Structure 1
Amino acid sequence: MSRHDSDSKDTVAWEGRWLRIRVRGTWEYAERTHAEGKAVIIVAVTPARTLLFVEQYRVPLGQRTIEMPAGLVGDQDGEDTLEAAAARELLEETGWRARRVEVLMEGPTSSGMSNERIAFCRATGLEKVHAGGGDETEDITVHEVPVDEAPRWLAAKMAEGYAMDPKLWAGLWLVDRNPDGSPLA
């Protein structure tokens, strides 16, 4: 971005129900209209040491994806923390309730296209309370994959044609480590 762009004021080029396109100088970017501009991705390992993944069709890609459970912060009334959003999304998408949710790190999702930020959260003390599958607008399939088999399973799904967000591999790193590389206590 040029100095001119960083000093410019934003203008709204287009606004829809869920997204807004802003322009600052020569730069165009997207932001959400109904959430706080933050999202969470949840690294969740069950007591049987399986890692939780969700599969769903994503319209922008025109294909099914494999993801870690994830969702927006602030799109539910009264929800104002990363931890609350992560706990809600984990339960809604997978049917697993977390006794504890810890924020591990936060950063931009796509810094050249959006002002959205995403936080990796670790969910622990999991208890299965229902089948999951998302809310009435979602069609989510839950996958419980043994932690040791997860990289190979993801590679096989990618070979089958599923879209894979590279953040999945960051999530695998965080299964047994803290962001600084130290092992979990």
Structure 2
Amino acid sequence: MNNLTWKVLESNYIHKGSWATLRTDKCEMPDGRIVPAYYVLEYPNWVNAVAVTEDNKILMVTQYRHAAEIISLEIPGGVIDGDEAPEAAMRRELLEETGYRFDNIEYLATIYANPSTANNKTFCYLATGGVKVQEQSLDEHEELIVHEYTISEVKQFLAENKIAQSLHCTALFYALMKLGEIG
């Protein structure tokens, strides 16, 4: 197999922020051609989970997403804090966003939102046996409404394109395959 990896010759930061950083990389392609300014968005890594309660309902949340100007139906998830382990971040996010604790959390996949321009990844999980143990504990600018849906309702949402967040659709498809709900 041919080596397709580019060699980074130089990186320059245009903006550094807590949620997003923008840099340009000067790169050399394997055949020696130079890419003078390739723009890369640096984001923290994320986690998400298909969260199934002890009575076999899938927890989903709705929230406003300003960049797209939509009310979005999503699965729970969020940013990994610092050097936090992905599974620990997922357990924290589930508790904060839904108030549910999950004893069983199974890794499903690692996916990339847009590997052509962004460097972060999302760790996807299937959480089962969820029990409500507290009220939500949301971040300052978070407003989430928690919903419980049957598996067949969630499958219908996917079929009708009612879940706009592509990373969440991907996690749902992996989880539904794992649960034997789609083949």
* Same fold, TM-score > 0.5, yes or no: yes
Identify which of 30, 33, 41 aligns with 2:41: 30
Match of 1:166 in 2: 166
- In the TM superposition, what whole-angstrom CA distance separates every residue of 1:114-158 from its partner, at most 9, and x where no partner exists? 101101011123111134373332110111110111122355673
The code of the aligned residue for 1:13 comes to I
1:17 deviates by: 3.9
1:40 deviates by: 0.5
1:25-174 map, 5 Å: 25=26, 26-32=37-43, 37-75=44-82, 80-132=84-136, 134-154=138-158, 158=162, 164-174=164-174
Runs (4+) of structure 1 exceeding 6 A deviation are none
For the Cα contact (< 8 Å) 2:60–2:73, is it kept in 1? yes
1:4 deviates by: 10
Contiguous gaps of at least 5 residues in structure 2 = 27-36
> Scaled by the length of structure 2, what TM-score is found?
0.79
Aligned residues between the structures: 168
For the Cα contact (< 8 Å) 1:132–1:142, is it kept in 2? no
* In structure 2, distance between residues paired with 1:165 and 1:130: 27
Identity of aligned residues (%): 28
Q: Which moved more, 1:94-103 or 1:124-133?
A: 124-133
> Scaled by the length of structure 1, what TM-score is found?
0.78
Contiguous gaps of at least 5 residues in structure 1 = none
Secondary structure of 1:177's counterpart equals: helix
1:98 deviates by: 0.9
The code of the aligned residue for 2:80 comes to V
Max radius of gyration: which structure? 2
For the Cα contact (< 8 Å) 1:105–1:119, is it kept in 2? yes
RMSD of aligned residue pairs (Cα, Å): 2.6
